[in-house]
Structure 1
Amino acid sequence: MKILYTNFHQGDGGGHTTYVMSLVRMLRQKSQITVAAPRSSRLLAEAEALPGVESIALEFKGRPLQQWNALRQLRALLRKERFDVIHVNGSADHRLCMLATAGMGAKRPFIVYTQHTDRTANSLGVRMRAKWGTNRVICVCGHTFRRMKQSVFRDEDLRVVHNGVDTDQYQPASREDVVRARAALLPAAMRNRFVIGSNAGTASYKNWMDMVSAVSLLPDHERGQVVILIAGKLPDDEQRQRVYELGMSDQVVFTGLLDDVGPFLATLDVGFVLSSRLETISFACREMMAAGKPVIVSKVGGLTENVTHGRNGWVVPPASVAGVLETVSTILHDRAILKWMGADARSTAMREFSLATFVGQTESVYMEGNGQPDARMRLTS
């Protein structure tokens, strides 16, 4: 099978990059894989480093002339390579692929689109892509599936494939690894404190500031026990100022973007993902749980499909500092629960977050096309 993966994100790309590369690494042994992404993207850099994977630098966003040139480049690539499947992962690359396949008729690849976010899917642009540029839609969680059923996409084209993580790569750390990780990531004075952290990023909608605000409200003797560790793009000046105003500058550590989150996960006692919108299943949440960390999540998107409250983590209302404060206070007063809750988080990951299942189910969606799109999806010039 010949597969083209596309994504429009420049820079890190977050969960989109993790998603595509998880598929590429597993399928490259038995399929011919090409990845098209912006030159500045982490996705392209990682694809270029994999033997047997073709990589194409392509800008899916830009000025009209740039877009026209990108369209010509993509159209030439499609006609030359005759891919069986194009797997698109965002609106910009989806749109360009729709235009590039116009007029290909029976030679048109089977187009699979993954809905990664919780955005409304009913705009004019989405309607065009649903009608003329999509054969199947992969929903990464049950919440997304329910949302997409109310959109312009056909019910019969929707498939639920939960994101998977590598449970061999993400697993509980030894005591020695924890000590080394804390020495690498935390100042000496913080290494024996209680560490609450998130590798979900620093975008405003991730609401990591709710955790900072909640910890700032703890009684002094409890607040001093806690360190908050945040991985992802470094915060902007406004966010840092807010941390300072809360009196938390000495208790919040920002690691920046990490090539390897293993030491970060080893450092944590508890994880959190407190998004207020756009969230679906969260690779970050699943990675933390695979590493044996119970996770505090907001009741948003598909996060509650990962965590069972009181068993392998805690569920709090969205944008609720009070809810986070109550949860953190409860944990600090009964840390003994973390051992068995962490074990349950790991067990849940082993049972439900399988990378092999994720890749196998995604491949099954590709196979539905048998290399030929249905008549409804063929475009004529």
Structure 2
Amino acid sequence: MNILYTNFHGDYGGGQDTYVRDLAAAMSRHHRVTVASPEGSRLSRLLKDSPDVAIFDMEFKPRWNRLCQEILRLRQLIVAERFDVIHVNGSADHRQVMLALLGCRYRPAVVLTKHNTYRADSFGNLLRARLATDHTIAVSDYVAGMLALRSPYGNVTVVKHGVRRQAAERLASDEIRRRKIALFGPSGADAIVLGSSAGTAPEKGWMDLIAALGRLPEHERERFRVLLVGAEPTAEQCEQIALHRMAARTAFTGRLDDVRTPFSIIDVSFVLSYHESLSYACREAMALGCPAIVTRVGGLPENVEPGVDGWVVPPREPAAIEAILRAIMREPGCVRAMGRSARLKGKREFSFERFIDATLSVYQKSIRHNPYRRVTSMRSV
């Protein structure tokens, strides 16, 4: 099978970068794979060590005076490579693929993954659904329900993220203490570390955790530390952290491609977003053995069984998070037990192989129902 993946993110695409990278690398073992992505994008960089994946520099948000040129380049690529499937991942690249295919006698099957919970009932969505979508992948049951209720997209299959990186052996307690001291100083040696790789954008809701910690008395607050993987905080965010007396207890790693090192000392993960389709960050943290605090938005609750491998709270409610923190302090042993349950769920339900097989099944189904062509290129069946 000959597959083209498209990605519009010019810099940092978060979980979508991980999604496309993991699919492209896995599919390239048995199929021909090309990824069209802006030059210098994080996705292109992540794939540089995948020799069987071809990278094609392509702008999906060009200036208007270059739009026709980029559409023509994409059309020429499609015609020359005779792809069986084009897998699009956002409105910008989907639109450009639609325009490139207009009038083409040769037309690959087009598969869309709906990665977010933004409305999909606009006129643009109607055009893309009718002219350039053979099948739609929803990353959660919530997204599938949203598409069924109010969108023009049909042939929807739910394929939830699989986690490629499984947890390594847990570090010895002395090594965990050493790493905590290196990051937070001697006072943090035995602290409960709350961590997230979901990013530091305001809509990720992490300031609600900071506010919840600020509600605790000083001696209780001292029992916690916060570790965030993502962009450095803004000046306004730093002011809020200081206001809640958490400045000396909060650390930022910057953006990382591999989160296993910070998660080796994280005890409890959190994704407190205000809107979220499923969250690769949540699934990866749980697979690494961290129970998760998540908000009751979008597909986030689909990851967690409350009281078993995590907790679910309403969005924008620091008081609800505070109650969980107090419960953890009363019974700190629950964190280890819930972490084991989270790790087991990662192995059982976040299977990377199942994710790849389910996605491949969507491709095969789309090709079978594509009246324009048959599969002409395969490395193996």
Q: TM-score, normalised by structure 2?
A: 0.93
Q: Contact 2:112–2:137 at 8 Å: present in 1 too?
A: yes
Deviations 1:57-100 (A, max 9, x none): 11111211122221111111111101000000011001001101
1:90 aligns with 2:87: no
Matched with 2:199 is 201
Instruction: List aligned pairs for 1:220-235, cutoff 5 A.
Output: 220-235=218-233
Matched with 2:376 is none
Secondary structure of the residue that 1:51 maps to in structure 2? Answer: coil
Distance 1:298 1:172 in 2: 29
Secondary structure of the residue that 2:290 maps to in structure 1? Answer: coil
Matched with 1:129 is 128
Shift of the alpha carbon at 1:223?
0.3
Distance 2:220 2:271 in 1: 22
1:353 aligns with 2:353: no
Larger CA deviation: 174-183 vs 50-59? 174-183
Q: Contact 1:171–1:290 at 8 Å: present in 2 too?
A: no
- Give the residue type in structure 1 aligned to 2:251: V
Deviations 1:123-147 (A, max 9, x none): 1111111111111100001011000
Matched with 1:62 is 62
Instruction: List aligned pairs for 1:241-260, cutoff 5 A.
Output: 241-260=239-258
1:192 aligns with 2:209: no
Shift of the alpha carbon at 1:179?
4.5
Distance 2:57 2:331 in 1: 52
Runs of 5+ in structure 2 lacking a partner?
A: 373-381
Matched with 1:332 is 329
Q: Contact 1:34–1:55 at 8 Å: present in 2 too?
A: yes
> Residue 303 of structure 2 is aligned with which of 288, 306, 314?
306
Distance 2:176 2:68 in 1: 51
Q: Contact 2:274–2:295 at 8 Å: present in 1 too?
A: yes
- Give the residue type in structure 1 aligned to 2:335: L
Matched with 1:370 is 367
- Give the residue type in structure 2 aligned to 1:143: Y
Secondary structure of the residue that 1:111 maps to in structure 2? Answer: strand
Deviations 1:298-331 (A, max 9, x none): 1111111110111111111111111001111111
Instruction: List aligned pairs for 1:161-180, cutoff 5 A.
Output: 161-168=159-166, 170-171=167-168, 173-175=170-172, 178-179=176-177
Q: Contact 1:177–1:263 at 8 Å: present in 2 too?
A: no
Distance 2:151 2:219 in 1: 54
CA 1:269–1:80 in structure 2 vs 1: closer, same or farther (change >3 Å)? Answer: same
Distance 1:149 1:143 in 2: 10
Runs of 5+ in structure 1 lacking a partner?
A: 376-381
Secondary structure of the residue that 2:301 maps to in structure 1? Answer: helix
Secondary structure of the residue that 1:138 maps to in structure 2? Answer: strand
Distance 2:146 2:279 in 1: 17
Instruction: List aligned pairs for 1:273-292, cutoff 5 A.
Output: 273-277=271-275, 279-292=276-289
Q: Contact 1:185–1:264 at 8 Å: present in 2 too?
A: no
Q: State the identity %.
A: 40
Instruction: List aligned pairs for 1:14-53, cutoff 5 A.
Output: 14-53=14-53
Distance 2:181 2:124 in 1: 49
Shift of the alpha carbon at 1:261?
0.6
Secondary structure of the residue that 1:48 maps to in structure 2? Answer: coil
Distance 1:24 1:199 in 2: 22
Matched with 2:117 is 118
Q: Contact 1:171–1:292 at 8 Å: present in 2 too?
A: no
Secondary structure of the residue that 1:369 maps to in structure 2? Answer: helix
Distance 1:276 1:121 in 2: 18
Q: Contact 1:84–1:109 at 8 Å: present in 2 too?
A: yes
Secondary structure of the residue that 1:368 maps to in structure 2? Answer: helix
- Give the residue type in structure 1 aligned to 2:12: D
Shift of the alpha carbon at 1:172?
5.2
Matched with 1:378 is none
- Superposition RMSD on alpha carbons, in Å? 1.6
Secondary structure of the residue that 2:248 maps to in structure 1? Answer: coil
Q: Contact 1:217–1:325 at 8 Å: present in 2 too?
A: yes
